[in-house]
Structure 1
Amino acid sequence: MILYDNENLEQQRLKDVTGKTLAALEAGIDDEKLVIALEPEAASIFCQYQEDKRASNERSLLNRTGQKYMIIDLGGGTADITIHERQPKGDDKLPLLKELHHAIGDDCGGTQVDNAFMEVLGEILGQKLITLMKKKQPSSYLELLREFETVKRREITNKNYLRIPLVTINELIEELEQENIDNKIKMSKYKNQIKRNREKLCIDDELMKSFFGPTIERIVSLVKDTSKIKAIRDISLFLLVGGFSECKNVLHALKKALPNKTFIVPEEAGLSVLKGAVIFGHKTSIIGSRFMIYSYGTKVFEPFDPELHEMSRKKKAGGRYICPKIFDFIVMKNDSVPVGTTIKREYLTDEPQQNFMDLDLYKSDSELTKYTNEEGCYRVCEAKIDIPDPSEEQRTVEVEYYFGDTEIRMTAVETDSGKSCKTVWKFI
């Protein structure tokens, strides 16, 4: 099982999946059994499964047939949003979920808050000391981060206490400058906002809020903007999952910004992604359909037609005029694609005894793309398709594309013989 967040999801699927897949294969995982799970989807699956077994209070809203809700996955690096609708159960009695809009995300996860805190600590103690702690005392550095992770989940008060590895910090300060932490704090611009009490730092509310402020503002903005999308603006139920969702300050800010919405933070919100991924691995059909973030197509040429094609694109090839670099749509952006959808295309060889065929896959930000070299259209991978038993005759290869799953796949067959063609993908 490989987990993915949704930020730049389609690009991640095509660009990064090769490396993660190879790593999994090297670890001994069978390629046929390797499944990519999307983090917000996994969390949604777990919450549905959990509520089917134990429906109570507000959370019972989730398992109503036809219920629409927004999943807000607040992880370390990103905030990712997916919108689901609960469908009638299938024959296996498991919930079926339909995606109502393609995934949306931004890099406003919990680590942004960590970075803000560490930046202030670096200003006080010196960035050189922070770097030295990472190198010479990594356990103390991790202890500091874990402690701040705990503090992040609490409500901000006038006095916010954070346990620090005091002995390690003082030893490193003395090693570098013959100083101590108290003098460092007194000499900093934060001397009125941070105090030391034994092995704890006491941070006032204004400084603590400054660590969270920019990140929470971006999360609220992302959720509000998503809520305004026409197709999903009637959604009133919001599910907060991921480790950063356990931060009470995030929940308070969202409730204040969207007072007429219902927000649910499930039990074990930080583990919902992992547990949902396990369920998804056993039953991938729980997700019935997904929205396409991009349009996908291949590069082809057509006989030149002045009524359809720009004159500047007219080229002569093989005794005739053609228009090259046509974007041949396979699926379109914002299409709702059922899981397991297959789309077939036929391609012809160009010359006698041709033993392979190159095929490029492109993605586009638009539903109106005409040419592969337009702005917003990019080549994402190239495939080499071996043609069995090359001959003098022109050959036809039927390529079958599989969409709707968490991966895009393809197979190829030489139509005359029915033989499968070996296909190698190279992601760009």
Structure 2
Amino acid sequence: MKIDAWLHERLDSVKEAGVYRNLRTMNGAPVPERRIDGKNQTVWSSNNYLGLASHSRLISAAQEALQQFGAGSSGSRLTTGNSAWHEKLEKKIAGFKRTEAALLFSSGYLANIGVLSSLPETEDVILSDQLNHASMIDGCRLSKADTVVYRHMDMDDLENKLNDTQRYQRRFIVTDGVFSMDGTIAPLDQIISLAKRYHAFVIVDDAHATGVLGESGGGTSEYFGVYPDIVIGTLSKAVGTEGGFAAGSAVFIDFLLNHARTFIFQTAIPPASCAAAYEAFEMIEASGEKRELLFSYINMIRTSLKDMGYLVKGEHTPIIPVVIGDTRKTVTFAEKLQDNGIYAPAIRPPTVAPGESRIRLTITADHSMGDIEHLLTSFHSIGKELHII
């Protein structure tokens, strides 16, 4: 059998299951109103929570650095790819996260894999939340340590597993700060309390909380007023740019620089991206106005959807999962939303568990009241039409 014939068979099974995926072409800057595949749509699936990705200050900062440093970094940080902007941004991130130091990666995905594949050793164990992001799961798979999965945010289960793993040399508790599909917030205060009691280290992926949660947008740590051993994050969500980071002690960052393969062998992000991210952190630190507006939208939408009778998961984060359940009905719902000019793709297995298919809305500060009214009107009419509410 030729390889294409074999691959066609595998793709056919994906199509039959109703989980076939394809790319959509976005034309224009990442703002709510965009032309997608030739049709005007309001986007409700962007992680650009504070609307900074298209902000003029970030664009200007990137343009200035682009003229001075060029389009690409030309190599890894350890060869030709290190610049003053990389170092300046790392100091900014460390200050923002209240750690001694930080290290940039080319993506949050690579940061998670770099930390988890290099830090835990053979005699160690990783305790991983059931709903952790794929990058953390892959990092655990590449680690030399054993991995034990605990039930999602179940502190009793975590404590039992911490107790059962005392034979290991070291224990690492690994969790998302905000879970990307459910919009739930990890109880970081309780996790750190357990970690102290059972002599474990805590690693948090704060991708969806950075810039959003906490009084100054510092993330899950600031939200709970606690400090994990290691914080991993991305610059591609509320920060509005590209790249990832790990933050912690100076010794930990020095260790990563010498051991994390996804740092050592990966081309550095361009200095222009660093300059734009630095400007974003400056804006986030200077004002909470965009966060306040964002949370007023979140409260309004969550309350309205619940009042309609929808099953809405999560907590008060920009991620609002509306569970439909049946995969095909969820796909139909998403198609009808698009017919109404609303882009919010169906989330289906294997991204979520069978029977948990959903429309995952993400809210940004750039949405307008008109956008929100249209969204809620559409959810009401489609929900009635499909006998969901």
Which one has a larger percent helix, Structure 1 or Structure 2? 2
Instruction: Tell me which structure has the larger Cα radius of gyration.
Output: 1
Which one has a larger percent strand, Structure 1 or Structure 2? 1
Q: Which has the higher contact order (CA 8 A, sep 6+)?
A: 2
